[in-house]
Amino acid sequence: MLDTPDFLYGTAWKEERTAGLTELALRAGFRGIDTANQRRHYFEAAVGEGLAAAYRAGVVTRADLFLQTKFTYRGGQDHRLPYDPDADLPTQVAQSMASSLEHLGTDRVDSYVLHGPASGSRWTDDDALVWIAMARERDAGRTRMLGVSNISLRQLHELADSGAELPAFVQNRCFARFGWDRGVRDFCREHGIVYQGFSLLTANREVLGDPLVAEIAAREKATPAQVVFAFSRRVGMLPLTGTSDPVHMAQDLASRDVTLSADEVSAIEHIAG
């Protein structure tokens, strides 16, 4: 299986277009797919249909891919639950994982992510319980790695201080005005955790219109969006894109070829905060 890709294609908010766009993303060259067993925002079964279509067409095999999905607490779900809401949390994790594997047509995902801690501010006993249950899934071979999403620096410290195993991935919304989540990224770098950044474009519209970014884009014959993705990689992030546009899919992948100087990377890092 692909170790860790350098781009993740995000499948949120695509509803009936999910299968087609997943297949299109694979045809465009994406090899990392991000989803969640949270029907409210994702259609995981349709991601599986898109994967199956790509396998059938000979575009990719499972071994070429990095598949990531998530466990979402009851509070983040609507009525379409992948588990028994009356079951205890470890059972919900096991049921959600079994459902994800069925949706995705695989017996192992590459990364299993806690969609967000139970509380907005602390790493709680519930999180500790879920985290142990997720590690059990990993030990049973149903995921290669574990991650946590929507997590603050304080919660990461609390997780670490509890003596629990650290995640392989942190997936956060990345705001330029908060130094592109500088505190969490620093923690990740110090602990060998791969930082996955989402909403790199939608959360940072001011950066896309910034003169420095425009200047670099003009020089590199690229778009401001490509400069942002290139920057994210230069500071060690694994970026996500959720584009529905085949031209943008190609451009997002081509951001690998955009070259930035160390000074430019530093300037963009401090562009808004």
Site string for ligand NAP, 55-94 (x = CB under 6 A): ----------------------------------------
Decide: is 152 part of the binding site for ligand NAP (CB under 6 A): no
Separation of alpha carbons 255 and 163, rounded Å: 38
Q: Which of 119, 244, 259, 266 binds ligand NAP (CB under 6 A)?
A: 244
Rounded least distance, CB 93 to ligand NAP, Å: 17
Q: Which of 23, 252, 260, 264 binds ligand NAP (CB under 6 A)?
A: 252
Separation of alpha carbons 99 and 93, rounded Å: 10
Residue of 244, 204, 178, 217 lying closest to 13 (CA atoms): 244
Decide: is 201 part of the binding site for ligand NAP (CB under 6 A): yes
Q: What is the DSSP string of 131-166?
A: HHHHHHHHHTTSEEEEEEES--HHHHHHHHHTTPPP
Residue type for 58, please? G
Quick check: helix, strand or coil at residue 89? helix
In contact, 184 and 174? CB cutoff 8 Å: no
Decide: is 11 part of the binding site for ligand NAP (CB under 6 A): yes
How far are the Cα atoms of 96, 107, 115, 138 from residue 126, in angstroms, in the given order? 16, 26, 13, 18
Decide: is 15 part of the binding site for ligand NAP (CB under 6 A): no
In contact, 207 and 179? CB cutoff 8 Å: no
Separation of alpha carbons 18 and 41, rounded Å: 11
Beta bridge partners of 147: 113, 169
Separation of alpha carbons 232 and 139, rounded Å: 32
Site string for ligand NAP, 132-151 (x = CB under 6 A): -----------------xx-
Site string for ligand NAP, 113-132 (x = CB under 6 A): --x-----------------
Cβ-Cβ contacts under 8 Å for 3 (sequence gap 6 or more):
66
Decide: is 225 part of the binding site for ligand NAP (CB under 6 A): yes
Q: Which 8-state DSSP code applies to residue 170? A: E
Q: Which of 240, 258, 268, 271 binds ligand NAP (CB under 6 A)?
A: 240
Q: Which of 1, 2, 4, 12 binds ligand NAP (CB under 6 A)?
A: 12
Decide: is 181 part of the binding site for ligand NAP (CB under 6 A): no
Rounded least distance, CB 58 to ligand NAP, Å: 26
Rounded least distance, CB 244 to ligand NAP, Å: 4
Rounded least distance, CB 107 to ligand NAP, Å: 22
Q: Which of 32, 147, 167, 242 binds ligand NAP (CB under 6 A)?
A: 242
Rounded least distance, CB 39 to ligand NAP, Å: 14
Give the footprint of ligand NAP on this chain (CB under 6 A).
10-12, 34, 115, 149-150, 171, 198-202, 223, 225, 240-245, 248, 251-252
